[in-house]
């Protein structure tokens, strides 16, 4: 108990954490303090997962199938979700549940529920793996005392994908047809895409993921292959400063315009979401219920008898096939399950597709810019921005999310690794405030776009000045680390 108290003092408990979350944190820390093996296991599995993800190429195809096949894919995704939620429940209710326990529980679930047995056994294990990843991340955040919420794993209600490992599917030699061979009955589907995944030996295809997006179903093949690109040395180094006015400005003063995809699509998105909100949610022909602010406020003061078990509560424990078969009466308090109207569905899909398009545009732009930047330089310096904290600014959050700095940095680092060039992130403190020529602090607010140094008389664009500072900092740290390496090498010989 004393140990518990000691740990309780050390853990910064944020107010939104529920008692169950705090309980799990305490149990885990206590467990780790007694058995160091707990730490080692978690770290090893995280490292193994990272190493695995480093050398995987993902090939994506769109799926062409019949309406029945789509329904079966949906069923397979739902069974995966069921396994995940069950595993999570096992971990929540037990003490010291390990990753292996979840794997064992999968086969137990297959015995208990016939619809779970239909899904391929490795796909079930994969669902358990994903659950453990979520649990592990929660543990990791607790261990590192990450500020704010710790990411306590939650039940999923709208899973979008199911993952097969190396069995349960068969790729035809033409690379254009895939057959799912497990009990879910999806069968043979056609793949649409330009990549040649069939050129790899089947043994290298480690994962086959089936996923749903707003515009249809997709299949992803994760291939274990190391991608290599020979970098042509250019002798150029660059520092970049990302911003909202321009996408980025480099230390040579070149800037790339911010495409503002979300802002450009906002008008259309507004129309689509308005249409969506005006559609009737029910196909029973009833008038759309009024849910304005006043109605919600009135409803708060209404006195109803306590409700019986709701539909959502029973959904977790009832097998999916019973739950969704048309001839079983809906569970709960006899309330009829409302199906959404066709117009509602159409409006929902139109809105979702538009959002998907914006997301794809942004991703594509970030990727192309990163690729171009890396292939034309030998060293790239950028700011170590904490985007998570920056988006807390309510006035700028939408613009910051729209520009997509984190994705851009992700791709710069990815291509940097591919080309074997150093990508250095430097602390972002005061990069725009110091003068890049005489290193003197020249305070300026966000609205001042030009840097004017009173000491040395340097006049530069604000972002250009910041980019030069970033490059200077990175060069200093890079040459210091190179020096250190050289010294170590010297003493060894």
Residues of this chain, 291-320, that bind Zn ion according to CB under 5 A: none
Nearer to Zn ion, 258 or 469 (CB): 469
Q: Supply the DSSP symbol for 204.
A: G
Q: How far is the CB of 443 from Zn ion (least distance, A)?
A: 13
Nearer to Zn ion, 317 or 439 (CB): 439
Is there a contact between 8 and 30 (Cβ–Cβ < 8 Å)?
no
Binding of Zn ion at residue 456 (CB under 5 A)?
A: yes
Q: How far is the CB of 457 from Zn ion (least distance, A)?
A: 7
Sole window of 24-32, 82-90, 457-465, 473-481 interacting with Zn ion (rule: CB under 5 A): 457-465
The DSSP element (H or E) to which 423 belongs, if any, is strand 423-427
Residues of this chain, 421-440, that bind Zn ion according to CB under 5 A: 435, 437-438
Residues of this chain, 100-139, that bind Zn ion according to CB under 5 A: none
Nearer to Zn ion, 182 or 463 (CB): 463
Sole window of 227-235, 302-310, 351-359, 449-457 interacting with Zn ion (rule: CB under 5 A): 449-457
Residues of this chain, 76-95, that bind Zn ion according to CB under 5 A: none
Nearer to Zn ion, 268 or 444 (CB): 444
Sign of the Cα pseudo-torsion (380, 222, 209, 198, in order): positive
Order of all β-strands in the sheet with 237-242: 255-257, 246-250, 237-242, 379-384, 423-427
Nearer to Zn ion, 222 or 453 (CB): 453
Nearer to Zn ion, 369 or 469 (CB): 469
Q: How far is the CB of 464 from Zn ion (least distance, A)?
A: 14
What mask of x and - would describe binding to Zn ion in positions 382 to 421, judged by CB under 5 A? ----------------------------------------
Q: How far is the CB of 470 from Zn ion (least distance, A)?
A: 16
Going by C-alpha positions, the residue among 143, 140, 136, 134 that lies closest to residue 12 is: 143
What mask of x and - would describe binding to Zn ion in positions 220 to 249, judged by CB under 5 A? ------------------------------
Q: How far is the CB of 458 from Zn ion (least distance, A)?
A: 5
Q: How far is the CB of 379 from Zn ion (least distance, A)?
A: 24
Is there a contact between 105 and 86 (Cβ–Cβ < 8 Å)?
yes
Sole window of 56-64, 176-184, 231-239, 446-454 interacting with Zn ion (rule: CB under 5 A): 446-454
Q: How far is the CB of 87 from Zn ion (least distance, A)?
A: 60
Is there a contact between 32 and 39 (Cβ–Cβ < 8 Å)?
yes
**Between helices 342-375 and 405-419, what is the axis angle to 10°?**
40
CA distance 257 to 446: 18
Sole window of 180-188, 189-197, 273-281, 450-458 interacting with Zn ion (rule: CB under 5 A): 450-458
Total residues binding Zn ion (CB under 5 A): 7
For residue 341, give the 3-state DSSP assignment.
Answer: coil
CA distance 335 to 226: 55
Is there a contact between 209 and 217 (Cβ–Cβ < 8 Å)?
no
Nearer to Zn ion, 224 or 458 (CB): 458
Sole window of 30-38, 57-65, 445-453, 481-489 interacting with Zn ion (rule: CB under 5 A): 445-453
Query: In 99-192, which residue ranges form alpha helices assigned H by DSSP?
Result: 99-112, 114-118, 121-143
Q: How far is the CB of 129 from Zn ion (least distance, A)?
A: 55
Nearer to Zn ion, 126 or 469 (CB): 469
CA distance 134 to 87: 11
Member of 109, 453, 467, 472 binding Zn ion (CB under 5 A): 453
Q: How far is the CB of 469 from Zn ion (least distance, A)?
A: 11
Nearer to Zn ion, 314 or 455 (CB): 455
Q: How far is the CB of 461 from Zn ion (least distance, A)?
A: 15
Q: Which token pair is 222?
A: 């994760």
Sole window of 57-65, 116-124, 233-241, 451-459 interacting with Zn ion (rule: CB under 5 A): 451-459
Nearer to Zn ion, 122 or 465 (CB): 465
Which residues neighbour 2 within 8 Å (Cβ) at sequence distance 6 or greater?
none
Got the DSSP string for 239-294?
EEEE-SSEEEEETTS-EEE---HHHHHHHHHHHHHHHHHHS-S-SS-PPPPP--HH
Identify the burial level of 121 via C-beta atoms within 10 angstroms of its C-beta, where 0-12 means exposed, 13-18 middle and 19 or more buried.
middle
Q: What is the number of residues in the chain?
A: 493
Q: How far is the CB of 466 from Zn ion (least distance, A)?
A: 14
Going by C-alpha positions, the residue among 59, 86, 321, 60 that lies closest to residue 185 is: 321
For residue 464, give the 3-state DSSP assignment.
Answer: helix
CA distance 463 to 399: 17
Q: Which token pair is 372?
A: 């171009």
Residues of this chain, 458-477, that bind Zn ion according to CB under 5 A: 458
Nearer to Zn ion, 437 or 477 (CB): 437
Which residues neighbour 31 within 8 Å (Cβ) at sequence distance 6 or greater?
38, 96
Nearer to Zn ion, 114 or 454 (CB): 454
Q: How far is the CB of 438 from Zn ion (least distance, A)?
A: 3
| Beta strand 237-242 pairing with 379-384 | parallel
Nearer to Zn ion, 356 or 456 (CB): 456
Residues that bind Zn ion (CB under 5 A): 435, 437-438, 453, 455-456, 458
């Amino acid at each position: 108990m004393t140990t518990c108290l000691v740990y309780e003092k050390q853990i910064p408990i944020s107010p939104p954490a529920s008692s169950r979350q705090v309980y799990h944190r305490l149990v885990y820390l206590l467990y780790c303090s007694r058995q160091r093996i707990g730490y080692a296991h978690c770290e090893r599995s995280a490292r193994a997962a990272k190493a695995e993800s480093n050398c995987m190429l993902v090939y994506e195809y769109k799926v062409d199938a019949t309406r029945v096949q789509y329904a079966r894919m949906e069923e397979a995704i739902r069974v995966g979700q069921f396994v995940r939620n069950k595993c999570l429940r096992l971990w929540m209710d037990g003490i010291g549940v390990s990753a292996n326990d979840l794997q064992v529980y999968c086969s137990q679930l297959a015995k208990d529920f016939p619809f779970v047995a239909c899904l391929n056994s490795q796909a079930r294990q994969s669902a358990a793996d994903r659950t453990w990843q979520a649990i592990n991340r929660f543990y990791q955040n607790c261990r590192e005392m990450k500020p704010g919420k710790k990411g306590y794993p939650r039940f999923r209600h709208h899973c979008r994908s199911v993952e097969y490992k190396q069995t349960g599917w068969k790729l035809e030699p033409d690379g254009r047809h895939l057959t799912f061979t497990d009990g879910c009955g999806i069968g043979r589907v056609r793949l649409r895409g330009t990549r040649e995944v069939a050129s790899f030996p089947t043994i290298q295809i480690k994962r086959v993921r089936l996923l749903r997006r707003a515009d249809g179903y997709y299949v992803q093949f994760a291939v274990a292959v190391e991608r290599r690109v020979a970098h042509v040395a250019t002798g150029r180094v660059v520092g970049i400063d990302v911003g909202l006015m321009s996408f980025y400005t480099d230390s040579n003063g070149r800037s790339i315009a911010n495409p503002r995809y979300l802002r450009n699509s906002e008008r259309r998105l507004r129309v689509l979401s308005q249409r969506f909100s005006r559609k009737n949610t029910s196909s029973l022909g009833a008038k759309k219920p009024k849910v304005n602010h006043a109605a919600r406020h009135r409803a708060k003061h209404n006195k109803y008898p306590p409700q019986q078990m709701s539909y959502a509560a029973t959904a977790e424990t009832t097998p999916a096939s019973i739950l969704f078969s048309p001839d079983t009466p809906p569970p709960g308090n006899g309330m009829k399950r409302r199906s959404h109207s066709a117009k509602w569905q159409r409006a929902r899909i139109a809105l979702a597709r538009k959002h998907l398009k914006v997301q794809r545009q942004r991703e594509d732009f970030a990727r192309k810019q990163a690729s171009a930047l890396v292939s034309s330089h030998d060293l790239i310096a950028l700011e170590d921005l904490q985007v998570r904290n920056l988006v807390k600014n309510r006035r700028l959050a939408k613009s910051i999310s729209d520009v997509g700095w984190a994705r851009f940095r992700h791709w710069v680092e990815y291509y940097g690794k591919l080309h074997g060039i150093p990508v250095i992130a430097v602390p972002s403190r005061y990069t725009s405030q110091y003068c890049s020529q005489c290193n003197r602090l020249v305070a300026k607010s966000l609205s001042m776009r030009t840097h004017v140094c009173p000491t040395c008389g340097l006049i530069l664009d604000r972002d250009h000045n910041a980019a030069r500072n970033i490059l200077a900092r990175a060069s200093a740290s890079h040459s210091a680390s190179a020096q250190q390496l050289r010294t170590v090498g010297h003493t060894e010989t």
